[in-house]
């Protein structure tokens, strides 16, 4: 069943959830609004950028076409016995190129990264997709959707109910991201806020994000469930089955609240969905089972802590005496460095330093830096 948007776009609920990475407003993350009113304004601007913008019709359809092909590729790989995370590793660079091209950026296979589209710009400031910020972004949209559903009850307006469901589905993108293991503990905002240049913090957060998605975390929620969570490229791994079940339950509960608001005209939720949200069993420097966080924000010391031994995910020692750039070099030596990270460094004020220190290894990107110099 499709939901009909004011600009003529028709999307399923699931498709609406999936496009959250593409339709925020650059420079205006929802969770960074200074007040509830400002966060609501930012959410609606993000939602309307595809729901009430005829110029988004073609673009959104192209994005969804790529997303559907991506899912087909993963499904075929699973049937063949391949690991989905390995397939994602292969196809992700070209997916990024396609999404960048569709959202107004470069398209050439050799130089697309030189011209960031909205997709890449939003990826560099994806604060709304992590930790408390993800819950704030979801809750902002969910509460607005509840109000619209209650208004639909008063006017018996089924079109308005469709808008309420659409708004809620868009909000649920942030909720689904909050379930990913690498999005639960990573101090996504604190890393760029407390490192120089802040681009380095963005790149460091990606290493922790990838590590915790792969290793997984033991999590629990307020109602007493305990399970293991993985994330992103590991989402379809068989060991993530329980996590998917609980995520699906929460997404359905969120949609049910919209319908209840429509039926009753009451925009107040009958239950607090936060009780289902996964919380890490081990946080900061606690615990001895899960991987030790690569970084964490010590609110008492007001310092950003780093795992002393970056190469040992189970090292239980941390330090506040560390440098972002040297840490980036360490992590690059241990794990390599993604193409997108190299492209970001190449376009930064640190491009020559990054090339000299071996952070830029791709020949095309390296040539670009040399020519720029």
**Dmax of the chain from CA atoms?**
65
User: Predicted confidence band at 225 (pLDDT cuts at 50, 70, 90)?
Assistant: very high
Which string of b and e fits 228-263 if b means at least 16 CB within 10 Å? bbbbbbbbbbeebeebeebbeebbeebbebbebbbe
Q: Report DSSP state, residue 126.
A: -
Contact 330, 310 (CB under 8 A): yes
User: How confident is the model over 174-212, as pLDDT tens digits?
Assistant: 999 999 999 999 999 999 999 999 999 999 999 999 999
Confidence bin at 373 (pLDDT 50/70/90)? confident
pLDDT average, residue stretch 311-315: 97
CA neighbor of 339 nearest in space, from 122, 27, 90, 22: 90
What average pLDDT score do residues 325-348 get?
A: 96
Answer for the pair 75, 29: CB distance below 8 angstroms, yes or no.
Answer: no
| 177, 247 contact by CB (below 8 A) | no
- The C-alpha atoms of residue 355 and residue 367 are separated, in whole angstroms, by 10
Distance of CA 354 to the CA centre of its chain: 26
Residue 270 has pLDDT above 90, yes or no: no
Q: What's the CA gap between 132 and 298, in Å, rounded?
A: 16
Q: Is the pLDDT of residue 241 over 90?
A: yes
Query: Radius of gyration over alpha carbons of the chain, in Å?
Result: 21
Q: How far is the C-alpha of 166 from the C-alpha of 160, rounded, in Å?
A: 10
pLDDT > 90? residue 121: yes
As a whole-number percent, the residues of the chain with pLDDT over 70 amount to 100
* pLDDT of 269 over the 90 cut: no
**Quick one: 204 exposed, middle or buried, by C-beta within 10 A (0-12, 13-18, 19+)?**
buried
Spatial distance between the Cα atoms of 9 and 53, rounded to a whole number of angstroms: 9
Q: Answer for the pair 352, 369: CB distance below 8 angstroms, yes or no.
A: yes
Q: Edge to edge, what strands does the sheet with 217-220 contain?
A: 226-229, 217-220, 279-280
DSSP readout, 89-117?
Answer: HHHHHHHHHHHHHHTTS---TTTGGGS--
Report residue 103's pLDDT band, with 50, 70 and 90 as the boundaries.
very high
* Count, residues in the chain: 373
Domain residue ranges in the chain: 2-54+126-336
- Residue 336 vs residues 39, 202, 330, 339: alpha-carbon distances, Å: 37, 16, 9, 10
pLDDT > 90? residue 271: no
Question: What token pair was written down for 72?
Answer: 């087909």
| DSSP reduced 3-state for 300 | coil
DSSP per position, 235-293? TTSGGGHHHHHHHHHHHHHHHHHHHHHHHH---S-SS-GGGGS-EESS-TT--SSSPPP
CA angle 66, 70, 72 (to 5 degrees): 115
Helix (H, G, I), strand (E, B), or coil: what is residue 227? strand
pLDDT tens for residues 70-82?
A: 999 999 998 999 9
Kindly state the average pLDDT of the residues 225-234: 94
β-partners of residue 306 are: 295, 319
Q: What mean pLDDT is reported for the chain?
A: 95
Res 146: pLDDT: 98
- Over residues 279-308, mean pLDDT: 96
**Cα separation of 27 and 128, whole Å?**
12
Rounded Cα–Cα distance for residues 291 and 51 (Å): 41
The pLDDT value recorded for residue 236 is 86
pLDDT for position 76: 93
Q: pTM of the entire structure?
A: 0.95
Mean pLDDT of 62-88: 93
pLDDT of 237 over the 90 cut: no
| Residue 84 confidence class, pLDDT cut points 50, 70, 90 | confident
- State the Cα angle at 116 between 113 and 119, rounded to 5°: 110
Residue 351 neighbours by CB distance under 10 Å:
22
């Amino acid at each position: 069943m499709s939901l009909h948007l004011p600009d003529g776009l028709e999307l399923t609920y699931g498709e609406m959830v999936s496009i959250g990475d593409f339709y925020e407003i650059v420079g205006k993350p929802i969770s960074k609004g200074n007040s509830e009113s400002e966060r609501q304004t930012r959410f609606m601007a993000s939602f309307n950028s595809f729901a009430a913008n005829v110029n988004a019709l073609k673009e959104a359809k192209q994005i969804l076409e790529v997303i559907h092909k991506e899912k087909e590729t993963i499904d075929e790989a699973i049937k063949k016995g391949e690991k989905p995370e390995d397939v994602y590793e292969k196809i992700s660079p070209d997916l990024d190129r396609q999404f960048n091209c569709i959202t107004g950026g470069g398209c050439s296979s050799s130089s697309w990264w030189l011209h960031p589209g909205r997709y890449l710009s939003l990826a560099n400031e994806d604060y709304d997709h992590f930790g408390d910020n993800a819950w704030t972004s979801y809750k902002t949209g969910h509460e607005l959707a509840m109000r619209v559903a209650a208004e639909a009850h008063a006017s018996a307006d089924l079109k308005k109910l469709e808008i309420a469901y659409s708004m809620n589905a868009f909000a649920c993108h942030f909720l689904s991201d909050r379930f990913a293991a690498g999005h639960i503990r990573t101090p996504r905002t604190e890393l760029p806020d407390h490192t120089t240049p802040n681009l380095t913090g963005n790149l460091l957060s990606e290493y922790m994000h990838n590590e915790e998605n792969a290793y997984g975390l033991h999590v629990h929620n307020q109602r007493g469930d305990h399970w293991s969570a993985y994330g992103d490229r590991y989402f379809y791994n068989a060991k993530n089955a329980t996590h998917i079940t609980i995520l699906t339950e929460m997404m359905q509960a969120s949609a049910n609240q919209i319908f209840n608001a429509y039926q009753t005209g009451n925009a107040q939720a009958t239950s607090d969905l936060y009780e289902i949200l996964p919380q890490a069993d081990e946080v900061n420097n606690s615990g001895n089972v899960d991987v030790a966080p690569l970084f964490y924000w010590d609110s008492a010391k007001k310092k950003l802590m780093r795992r002393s031994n970056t190469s040992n995910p189970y090292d239980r020692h941390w330090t506040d005496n560390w440098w972002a750039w040297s840490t980036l070099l360490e992590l690059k030596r241990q794990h390599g460095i993604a193409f997108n990270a190299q492209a970001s460094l190449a376009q930064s004020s640190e491009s020559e330093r990054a090339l000299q220190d071996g952070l830029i290894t791709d020949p095309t990107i390296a040539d670009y830096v040399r020519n720029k110099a």
